[in-house]
Each structure stands twice: as structure tokens, then as C-alpha cells.
């Protein structure tokens, strides 16, 4: 018995030592802490936004907010005469987590679309980290519509189905999601693993690599991504809430003659049939948009066949880097090009050219 216990202790120590070394290395190389007081709470359904005109570090890169509390250059309340204005709603991907401002997809798309049109096109970055579709609807009402956009692009990410703490506390969810015993066990494992990833950089680093190794063997559905992909079903009240938010965006934009486009953003995983874990999410969002007459751009084809882990901003953070944002910007610009190119350039008309 003593020999058996000693062997167990040796195995546990042998497993923990490399984990602790890995944790130390990752923490030593982690980016500097975020600047304090970059964000402000809002007494509205939007929840929070940037402090107007604040400057600081976020996810290791400098960020600057304009007078509206958005990560963008200073913009006028209304577009200049002859300018096409696009607003990009979204979460941390649209915001450009870990990416310099000029390399975010809204900024890159602005340059591309201006070149296509041969006249000014503005793409305003209204992405806020942590937002879901309910937050984005509120921000559209509170700020976005007042900026007089011609087009609204909603960046939809798989975790937009999750509610914030304040939304849960305010009673947004009216009924729980029913789950079988097996699903509850699996969900418990996922919750525990997600907690571990939030508190351990080594676990955060290991998780996607473990997933990439296991998915070709048929093991799918574990971790945050795997847990969420099965929730895009009409019986899930979370998904129904997001559907209603998209329909309200459609109503608000349609009555103002504003084009609305939902852009479905993929998880930065390996883009193969065997490895990509959430094709069901893409199908659910695109099907819903098609059924309700909402224009939708699914970015999955633009990344298909690539190794999405090459586009991570760090070893533990799967947000797309500058190259990933370039691919998104090019796809979005190609999709929007016919819409902006067909709009008259009033500047040239007024000058007689």
C-alpha cells in the first residue's frame, strides 16, 4: 500500500511540475495589465462603454476613445455631405482586442471601401468588449441611429448567446433551459473547465490545443465553444432573445431606410470538417437571417482551409490578430462594395466634375 501511494504521489508531482513551469512562463510573458478607469457604467440597457476621450492600455495595446466613448477617431454627429457612413456594432472582435486601432477590421474596411467608391466612406467602430446582441441593440438606439448611418453591420459571435451578469439580475431570462442528466453532467464539466481557464493561463493555453487533438478522434462539445454550439435552438430562451433583438434592429433600420447586415464571425480554430467545432452555430444564424429577410455575411468560407490558431493575438487568447482582421475587412468590403459604389457622390456633382 505504501508503494502504491508513493507511486501516486510521484505521478501527481510529475504532472504538476510542468504545469507550474508552464504557468510561470506564460504569466512572465503576459501583456501588461489594463489601464484603470477606461470604462464607464451606463444607466441604460447598453450597460457600459468607454470613458469619453480616455487613453490607456487594453489587452497589451494602446486604446483611445473618442467623445462618444468608442474606440474610433473623432466623428461628427452626422456624416459630411457626400459621405457614406457605416457603423459596425459588435463585441471584443469588432473592438479589436489586442490589435492596434489602424489594423482593426472597421478601419481596414473603411480604407478599402473608400477606394472602391472613389469618395469618402466612414466605418465607425462601435464594438465594446463583453457585448452581446441585446447590448448592441441598446447602443444602436442610444447612439448609433443618431449618427445617421447608411448601413449597419452587426458582428455576431458564437458567445453572443450568453447574457451578462446585469442582464441575468434584471430578469431577462424568464425560464431555464431544460437539459438531460447527461447534458447537465457535461455542462458541469464545461463550467469547471471554463473556471479553470479563467484562473490559469496554462489551462487557457492547453484547452484549444487539447481540443484540436481530440476533435479528429470524434470527441466534440467540451469547453466554452462546444457548450455554446448546441444552444442555437429555438427552444433556448437565450437564442430567442437574440433573435428578437435582431428583428428589432431590422425594424429600426428599415423604417429609416438603413441597410442592415449581420456578419457571422467564426471561432479562430482549425477550419476543417474534422476540427471546426461550431458549424451548427453558423447554420442557425444564417438560416434565421434568411428566413426573416436580413442580409447575412458568413465569414466561415473566407477562413475555410486555414489554421485559425495562426491568427490568435497570443498563445492563450483566440481573438483574431491583425491578419485575421485583414481577412474580415476584405470579406466585408467585398460584400458591401456594391452598396457603397452605387451611392451617388454628391461632392463631385456639386463641384461640376
What is the residue range of 303's domain?
39-169+231-351
Q: Which residues contact 324 (CB under 8 A, 6 or more apart)?
A: 268, 308, 311
Residue 124 vs residue 227, higher pLDDT: 124
The average confidence (pLDDT) of the chain is 84
With respect to residue 213, please indicate whether it lies within any of the assigned structural domains. Answer: no
High-pLDDT (> 90) share of the chain, %: 61
Which pLDDT score is estimated for 200? Answer: 66
**What CATH number is given to the structural domain containing 110?**
3.40.50.1110
> Using alpha carbons only, how large is the chain's radius of gyration in Å?
22
Task: Give 227 or 216, the one with higher predicted confidence.
Answer: 227
pLDDT in tens, 234-243: 889 999 999 9
Q: Crossing angle for the helix pair 279-291 and 237-254, nearest 10 degrees? A: 40
> What does the pLDDT look like over 59-81, one tens digit per residue?
889 999 999 999 999 999 999 99
**Does a structural domain hold residue 127?**
yes
- Position 222 scores a pLDDT of 46
Q: Is residue 15 part of a domain?
A: no
Average pLDDT over residues 38-55: 95
pLDDT digits (tens, 9 = 90+) for 263-296: 999 999 999 998 898 999 999 999 999 999 999 9
Task: For residue range 94-128, list pLDDT tens digits in order.
Answer: 999 999 999 999 999 999 999 999 999 999 999 99
pLDDT of residue 186: 54
What's the confidence (pLDDT) of residue 8? 78
Distance separating alpha carbons of residues 353 and 345, to the nearest angstrom = 10
Taking residues 196-215, what's their average pLDDT?
A: 56
pTM value > 0.85 = no
* Residue 54 belongs to a domain: yes
In which band, very low, low, confident or very high, does the pLDDT at 195 lie, cut at 50, 70 and 90? low
pLDDT, greater one: 331 or 213:
331
**Rounded to an integer, what distance in angstroms lies between the CA atom of residue 72 and that of residue 291?**
34
Q: Is residue 326 part of a domain?
A: yes
pLDDT at 277: 85
Please check whether residue 24 lies inside any domain of the structure. Answer: no
> What is the SS3 assignment for 151?
strand
Cα separation, 127 vs 84, in Å, equals 19
Question: 265 in a domain, yes or no?
Answer: yes
Q: DSSP 3-state assignment of 342?
A: coil
**What cell was used for 272?**
476543417
When divided into structural domains, the chain yields a total of 1
Q: Which helix (H) or strand (E) holds 4?
A: helix 2-28
- In a domain, residue 277? The reply is yes
Residue 348 has pLDDT above 50, yes or no: no
Mean pLDDT over 125-139 rounds to 97
Alpha carbons within 13 A on the beta-carbon side of 343: 24
| Cell reading at 24 | 510561470
Identify the CA nearest to 229 among candidates 327, 144, 162. 162
Amino acid at each position: 500500500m505504501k508503494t502504491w501511494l508513493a507511486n501516486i504521489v510521484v505521478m501527481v508531482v510529475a504532472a504538476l511540475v510542468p504545469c507550474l513551469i508552464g504557468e510561470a512562463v506564460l504569466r512572465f510573458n503576459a501583456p501588461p495589465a489594463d489601464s484603470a478607469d477606461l470604462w464607464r457604467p451606463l444607466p441604460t440597457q447598453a450597460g457600459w462603454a468607454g470613458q469619453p476621450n480616455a487613453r490607456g492600455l487594453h489587452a497589451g495595446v494602446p486604446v483611445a476613445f473618442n467623445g462618444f466613448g468608442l474606440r474610433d477617431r473623432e466623428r461628427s454627429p452626422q456624416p459630411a455631405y457626400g459621405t457614406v457612413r457605416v457603423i459596425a456594432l459588435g463585441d471584443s472582435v469588432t473592438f479589436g482586442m489586442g490589435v492596434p486601432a489602424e489594423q482593426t477590421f472597421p478601419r481596414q474596411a473603411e480604407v478599402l471601401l473608400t477606394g472602391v467608391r472613389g469618395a469618402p466612406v466612414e466605418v465607425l467602430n462601435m464594438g465594446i468588449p463583453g457585448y452581446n446582441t441585446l447590448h448592441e441593440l441598446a447602443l444602436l438606439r442610444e447612439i448609433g441611429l443618431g449618427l445617421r448611418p447608411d448601413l449597419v453591420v452587426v458582428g455576431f459571435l458564437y458567445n453572443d448567446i450568453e447574457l451578462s451578469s446585469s442582464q441575468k439580475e434584471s430578469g431577462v431570462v424568464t425560464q431555464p433551459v431544460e437539459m438531460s442528466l447527461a447534458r447537465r453532467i457535461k455542462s458541469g464539466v464545461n463550467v469547471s473547465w471554463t473556471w479553470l481557464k479563467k484562473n490559469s493561463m496554462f489551462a487557457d493555453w492547453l484547452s484549444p490545443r487539447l481540443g484540436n487533438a481530440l476533435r479528429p478522434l470524434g470527441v466534440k462539445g467540451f469547453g466554452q465553444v462546444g457548450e455554446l454550439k448546441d444552444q442555437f435552438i429555438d427552444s433556448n430562451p437565450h437564442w430567442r432573445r437574440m433573435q428578437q433583438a435582431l428583428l428589432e434592429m431590422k425594424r429600426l433600420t428599415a423604417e429609416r431606410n438603413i441597410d442592415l447586415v449581420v456578419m457571422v464571425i467564426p471561432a479562430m480554430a482549425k477550419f476543417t470538417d474534422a476540427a471546426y467545432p461550431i458549424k451548427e452555430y453558423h447554420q442557425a444564424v444564417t438560416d434565421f437571417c434568411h428566413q426573416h429577410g436580413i442580409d447575412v455575411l458568413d465569414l466561415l468560407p473566407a477562413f475555410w482551409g486555414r489554421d485559425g490558431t495562426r491568427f490568435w493575438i497570443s498563445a492563450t487568447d483566440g481573438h483574431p490578430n491583425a491578419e485575421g482582421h485583414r481577412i474580415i475587412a476584405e470579406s466585408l468590403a467585398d460584400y458591401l462594395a456594391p452598396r457603397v459604389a452605387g451611392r451617388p457622390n454628391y461632392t463631385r456633382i456639386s463641384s461640376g466634375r
